[in-house]
């Protein structure tokens, strides 16, 4: 894992900083090599900081996604019926990011006198990108709301794991990611896993209130939502690399805030245009756990989705959309267990086999990236040794 971590540093933009620090030290010593004990400390601190950032984002994704999905299923089981309300809460938690945005803006303004500001894309271009991403997110959230209504939580989670296979394809075309043999194996296995769930009996044995005859629609909508979500992640990675040319935390928060604000506006417009807003008061009064539980369920769903979204975008910026999808689908084995414990879902033989095949596909994917990272880390080590030898020769 340590070898794989070294190559991930280049994704986070650290390789340039390390190279710059090394050249600066040599210049300050009149071309001589710096002491061997001085260089590792900043590299180690950057390594730890990067891993800490990735770990926090992973926790946000897994915890936020699991809790939000569970609360979404509970909302329907306790009498909630508004699909657009479920869509709104998936993106309306953006105000929680405002304090962080203000904090980083204050830090940026205080340090702007000593550091030249980076060139930013035109405002109209950024607005168009964020608005476009917001529309796609709103559509994706709506399809996920339908899927969660029409499917048991365990089935929904297994089908959602297919987003890794979709993202592998989108990343190949949009982000120039390699399509290795194990990646292809992962795509095939995850596709087969989703297909196995699709041909099974679907909602039988579920403890949730699943509408009769809606399994095909739920399967199709959840699969489509997985594909669209994978496309959104690839587009976000492309935006970080080609448009914003930055993967700093303030940039990540800015994209997350404005794209989700746009998605929330589209969702609220859909709530009013569909007329579902008229039934909110009656839905709250008829909620089985009471009006307070209704409000708390929606509020904590919004908070959970906000944390999940912040974690997703942080991982896209720090690593890649492919890695983000892997982390997002790591919860696939956990969701059926949560559904069995809290919702009374029954995991039959077909569903268990589909889950195991999906886990096999995910492990194939992770192992391929481990091999790639190890090979790249080896090349970087050889290159560093060559540069060190060249510096010694020039100093002599």
pLDDT of 278 > 90? The answer is yes
What is the rounded average pLDDT of the residues 29-44? 48
Q: Which helix (H) or strand (E) holds 390?
A: helix 349-395
Roughly how many angstroms between the first and final C-alpha of the chain, as a whole number? 37
3-state secondary structure (DSSP) of residue 39 = coil
Per-residue pLDDT band for 320 (boundaries 50, 70, 90) equals confident
Q: What pLDDT, on a 0 to 100 scale, did the predictor assign at position 43?
A: 57
What's the pLDDT score for residue 32? Answer: 46
What is the mean pLDDT of the segment spanning 254-275? 94
Residue 322: what pLDDT? 66
pLDDT in tens, 338-362: 766 776 666 667 767 777 777 787 7
Report d(CA 157, CA 338) in Å as an integer.
11
- The span from the CA of 59 to the CA of 333, in Å, is 16
- Residues of the chain with pLDDT > 90, as a percent, come to 27
- Of 63-72, 202-211, 287-296, 341-350, the poorest mean pLDDT is in 202-211
pTM of the model: 0.73
Q: CA dist 52 to 49, 132, 215, 273, Å?
A: 5, 31, 41, 44
Q: At CA 305, angle to CA 120 and CA 203, rounded to 5? A: 135
Among the listed residues 227, 231, 62, 90, the one whose alpha carbon sits nearest the alpha carbon of residue 148: 90
> What pLDDT is stored for residue 330 in this prediction?
67
Stretch among 202-206, 214-218, 333-337 having the lowest mean pLDDT: 202-206
Of these ranges, 57-71, 156-170, 378-392, the one predicted with the greatest mean pLDDT is: 57-71
**For residue 67, is pLDDT > 60?**
yes
Q: Above 60 in pLDDT, residue 91?
A: yes
Question: Residue ranges of the domains in the chain?
Answer: 46-105+122-201+211-365
Q: What is the mean pLDDT of residues 153-161?
A: 78
User: Across residues 198-208, what is the average pLDDT?
Assistant: 55
Q: What is the pLDDT of residue 117?
A: 53
Residue 153: closest CA among 221, 200, 203, 90: 203
Average of per-residue pLDDT values in the chain: 78
Categorize the per-residue pLDDT at 12 as very low, low, confident or very high, splitting at 50, 70 and 90: very low
Q: Would you state the pLDDT for residue 203?
A: 45
Measure Cα distances from 220 to 64, 161, 225, 227 in Å: 24, 14, 9, 11
| pLDDT reported for residue 101 | 84
Q: pLDDT band at 239, cuts 50/70/90?
A: very high
Angle at 60 between CA 148 and CA 65, to 5 degrees: 5
Instruction: Give the CA angle between residues 174, 170, 310 to the nearest 5°.
Output: 90
Cα–Cα distances (Å) from 299 to 68, 76, 190, 290, in that order, read: 10, 15, 33, 14
Query: Does residue 109 have a pLDDT over 70?
Result: no
Question: What is the secondary structure of 336-377 as a DSSP string?
Answer: HHHHHHHH-----HHHHHHHHHHHHHHHHHHHHHHHHHHHHH
- The rounded distance, in Å, linking the Cα atoms of 133 and 88 is 15
Q: CB count, 10 Å around CB of 171?
A: 24
Look-up of token digits 């340590």: 2
Band of residue 21 on the pLDDT scale cut at 50, 70, 90: very low
């Amino acid at each position: 894992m340590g070898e794989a971590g070294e190559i991930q540093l280049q994704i986070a933009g650290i390789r340039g900083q390390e190279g710059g620090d090394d050249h600066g030290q040599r210049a300050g010593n009149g071309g001589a090599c710096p002491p061997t004990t001085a260089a590792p400390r900043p590299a180690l601190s950057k390594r730890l900081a990067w891993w800490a950032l990735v770990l926090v984002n992973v926790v946000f994704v897994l915890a936020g996604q699991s809790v939000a999905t569970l609360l979404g299923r509970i909302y329907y089981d306790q009498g909630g019926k508004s699909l657009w309300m479920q869509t709104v809460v998936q993106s309306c938690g953006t105000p929680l990011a405002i304090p962080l945005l203000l904090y980083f803006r204050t830090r940026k303004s205080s340090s702007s006198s000593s550091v030249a500001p980076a060139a930013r894309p035109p405002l109209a271009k950024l607005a168009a990108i964020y608005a476009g991403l917001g529309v796609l997110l709103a559509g994706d959230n709506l399809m996920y709301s339908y899927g969660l209504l029409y499917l048991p939580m365990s089935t929904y989670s297994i089908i959602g794991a297919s987003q890794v296979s979709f993202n592998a394809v989108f990343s190949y075309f949009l982000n120039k990611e390699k399509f290795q043999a194990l990646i292809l194996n992962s795509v095939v296995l995850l596709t087969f896993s989703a297909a196995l769930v699709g041909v099974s009996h679907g909602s039988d044995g579920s403890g949730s209130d699943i509408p009769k005859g809606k399994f095909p629609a739920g399967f199709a909508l959840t699969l489509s939502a997985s594909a669209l979500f994978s496309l959104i992640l690839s587009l976000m990675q492309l935006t970080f690399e080609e448009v914003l040319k930055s993967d700093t935390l303030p940039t990540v928060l800015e994209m997350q805030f404005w794209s989700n604000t746009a998605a929330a506006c589209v969702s609220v417009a859909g709530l009013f245009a569909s007329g579902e807003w008229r039934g909110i008061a009656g839905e709250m009064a008829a909620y089985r756990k009471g009006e307070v539980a209704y409000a708390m369920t929606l509020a904590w769903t919004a908070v959970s989705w906000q944390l999940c979204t912040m974690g997703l975008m942080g991982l896209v910026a720090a690593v890649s959309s492919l890695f983000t999808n892997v982390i997002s689908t790591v919860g696939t084995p956990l969701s059926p267990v949560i559904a069995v414990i809290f919702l009374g879902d029954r995991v039959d033989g077909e569903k268990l086999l589909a889950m195991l095949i999906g886990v096999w596909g995910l492990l194939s994917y992770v192992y391929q990236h481990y091999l790639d990272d190890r090979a790249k880390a080896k090349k970087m080590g050889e290159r560093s040794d060559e540069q060190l030898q060249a510096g010694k020769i020039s100093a002599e």
